[in-house]
Chains A and B, each alone.
Chain A
């Protein structure tokens, strides 16, 4: 069955960087667009970024544009999120998700918690 497993979360100081990974199995990873979605503690879902199946296009939410970079390695079936200049308000559980026809988020990982605090 499809599994998406995030890793790389932790506690980091404001202004520092962190890289999240999402390891995929059970699907032909190179065929799927991939997304990051986050959820601040006690809050709703916020879409963060998307990368095309081949890595050719990337788009970001306004709150992370210019600070976060989404990337993928199809040879390793892995999605990444490089987060720079982290802010306290970036504190959240970060989920990776695969899309279907670019329109729905079909499979989700269980999330990894990022805490930005001094």
Chain B
């Protein structure tokens, strides 16, 4: 089974800061990785698909990169509305999906 890890598990940042989250897969998953945002009490929302493609309607301050086993998710300038937990999700061994443990982002 493919295991996903994320770091950090939580972070505090100031408005306007650049925020970076990493996701690591236990084996090569090519670019078969998505990123989701989940706000408290809400359903997750797709932000990035295929590691680096911005979902339609998602602000360009969000970006993703990486391939193989190491991936990065970035918020270029943190805003209060970005406070959420962010999850990576791999789909290399379809139809099974695996989520990372999540990274909680809050304001300093």
Contact = CB atoms under 8 A, between A and B. Distances in A.
A109 B42 CA distance: 9
Contacts of B94: 102-103
B87 A45 contact: yes
Contact of A44 (B42, B46, B91, B102): B102
B87 A104 contact: no
B44 A105 contact: yes
A33 B51 CA distance: 21
B34 A44 contact: no
Contacts of B50: 103
Interface in A53-75: 57, 59, 61
Chain A interface, DSSP helix/strand/loop, else mixed: strand
Interface in B3-61: 32, 34, 36, 38, 42-46, 49-50
Contacts of A61: 96
A103 B92 CA distance: 9
Contacts of A104: 34, 46, 49, 91
B44 A45 contact: yes
A31 B65 CA distance: 30
B42 to A, nearest CB: 7
Interface of A: 33, 35, 37, 44-47, 50, 57, 59, 61, 95, 97, 102-106, 108-111
